[in-house]
Amino acid sequence: MKLVLFTSDRCAVCLPLKEKLKKVAEELEIELKEVKIEENPQEAAQKLIFSAPTVVLEEEGKELKRWSGVFSVEDIKTTLLRLLS
């Protein structure tokens, strides 16, 4: 499983969110990848992501879940724990 965090330089919550997700990813031994929308517009557009922050949970290249807009790190962690058990 892998978490993909789509960020933007104009996003005020992206940096703190990234730090929190790093801790969750390390704790659960899951890969965390950051994609900056301004630097990788094609990758973001392919996944129909046009706002930041957006977090996509993937497994073997398939999207399992997506969080965008208002969400909590605890929601993500709960979903990960459920899928890992």
User: How confident is the model over 25-76, as pLDDT tens digits?
Assistant: 999 999 999 999 999 999 999 999 989 999 999 999 899 999 998 899 999 9
Quote the pLDDT of residue 30.
96
Q: Is the pTM value of this prediction over 0.75?
A: yes
Domain positions in the chain are 2-84
Measured between alpha carbons, how far is residue 1 from residues 16, 43, 57, 80 in Å?
22, 18, 7, 9
pLDDT at 70: 86
CATH entry 3.40.30.10 includes domain 2-84: yes
